Every structure is written in structure tokens, then in C-alpha cells.
């Protein structure tokens, strides 16, 4: 028991090595570039409608993390909406279950043009681990047109930000 206490009290308070803290992604620099592109392309406000088409919820948690205090994407002019009629971009997560086919099509049709559809995560891209399952219709592209994909299972918030910047740079050219 004494050895356990000795180990606990001798462990440094900072368990993350300082080198790892320096290697953290510079979200502010990515955000400044995003802000410039959002201002250029969307008059300062990019609104995203996210649809969970049958995912394991991992991708939704990563998208939700974009709104936390660390990433705070609203400071870059990017926000999520519940209404597809107000959206500039549609992000779909997970393989599309048969029960979500009609809802996804209706959401896609409700988004004003020009429509930008992004498949987020491996499941949304091609079905992921559920590929070929009797319960899914396939990836998002099997139901609606997909313009961009963000691979990962799930992609991290930083990967999503970098991918958004790439998407906006591609649209701008």
C-alpha cells in the first residue's frame, strides 16, 4: 500500500508531455482561413444542416465538439441549423438505413441551391463496417448526390475543420 501512495504522490501533475501540448493543432490559424473563405463565399455565414442517417453517433459527437469552447466554430462564421431551408451545406453521417432514405431525400430537396453535400465518416462514404448489410441502403451517394467526403471512423474535429477549409477552397476556384 505504501508503494501505491508513493507512486501516486511522485507522479507529476501534468500527465501530458509538454511536447504534445506544443504539437496541438493551431485551430485559430485554420479558423482565420475559414473565416476569410466564409466571408468570400457566403457573405460571412456558413450554415450547416447535419443529418444522422443511421450512424453509431460517433461522428455526431465529433461534429458537436466543433461547438465546444475549444473549437467554437461560430467565431469563424459557421453554425448548425435544424432547418434545411436555411442551410448552405448538408453534412450526412453514417450509412443510410432504409428507414432514413425518404427523410434524407426530403431534407436534400428542402435545401436551397446550390447544394453542397458532404459525407462525414466512413459509414457515410460507402457504408463502412455495415457495407452490404440488409439494414442499410448504402452510403449517402446511393441516395443523394455527394460532392465531398471526409473519411475517418470518426474523423476528428480538426480533420473536419481542415476538410471544411479544403471544401471551401475547392468551391472558390
pLDDT of residue 60: 93
CB burial class (10 A; 0-12, 13-18, 19+) of residue 75?
A: exposed
Confidence of residue 142 (pLDDT cuts 50, 70, 90): very high
The CA distance from 34 to 44, in Å, is 10
Which comes out higher in pLDDT, residue 9 or 132? 132
> How many other CB atoms are found less than 10 A from the CB of residue 94?
29
Confidence of residue 21 (pLDDT cuts 50, 70, 90): very low
| Whether pLDDT at 25 is above 80 | no
pTM of the entire predicted model: 0.81
| Whether pLDDT at 11 is above 60 | no
Q: Are 15 and 7 in contact (CB under 8 A)?
A: no
Q: For the residues 129-152, what does the mean pLDDT come to?
A: 91
Confidence of residue 9 (pLDDT cuts 50, 70, 90): low
Q: Which of 145, 66, 62, 63 is nearest to 111 (CA)?
A: 145
- 141: preceding bond cis by omega (within 30 degrees): no
pLDDT of residue 44: 84
The CA distance from 104 to 97, in Å, is 10
Query: What are phi and psi for residue 150, nearest 5 degrees?
Result: -120, 100
Domains of the chain, start order = 44-172 (3.40.50.12280)
Three cell numbers written together for 161: 475543420
Q: For the residues 18-32, what does the mean pLDDT come to?
A: 67
Amino acid at each position: 500500500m505504501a508503494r501505491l501512495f508513493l507512486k501516486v504522490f511522485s507522479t507529476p501533475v501534468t500527465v501530458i508531455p509538454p511536447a504534445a501540448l506544443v504539437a496541438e493543432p493551431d485551430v485559430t490559424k485554420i479558423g482565420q482561413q475559414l473565416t476569410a473563405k466564409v466571408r468570400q463565399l457566403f457573405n460571412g455565414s456558413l450554415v450547416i444542416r447535419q443529418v444522422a442517417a443511421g450512424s453509431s453517433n460517433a461522428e455526431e459527437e465529433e461534429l458537436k465538439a466543433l461547438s465546444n469552447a475549444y473549437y467554437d466554430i461560430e467565431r469563424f462564421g459557421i453554425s448548425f441549423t435544424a432547418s434545411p431551408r436555411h442551410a448552405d451545406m448538408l453534412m450526412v453521417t453514417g450509412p443510410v438505413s432504409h428507414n432514413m432514405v425518404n427523410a434524407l431525400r426530403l431534407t436534400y430537396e428542402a435545401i436551397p441551391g446550390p447544394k453542397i453535400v458532404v459525407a462525414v465518416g466512413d459509414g457515410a462514404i460507402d457504408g463502412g463496417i455495415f457495407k452490404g448489410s440488409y439494414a442499410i441502403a448504402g452510403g449517402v451517394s446511393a441516395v443523394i448526390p455527394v460532392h465531398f467526403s471526409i473519411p475517418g471512423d470518426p474523423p476528428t474535429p480538426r480533420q473536419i475543420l481542415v476538410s471544411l477549409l479544403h471544401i471551401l477552397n475547392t468551391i472558390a476556384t
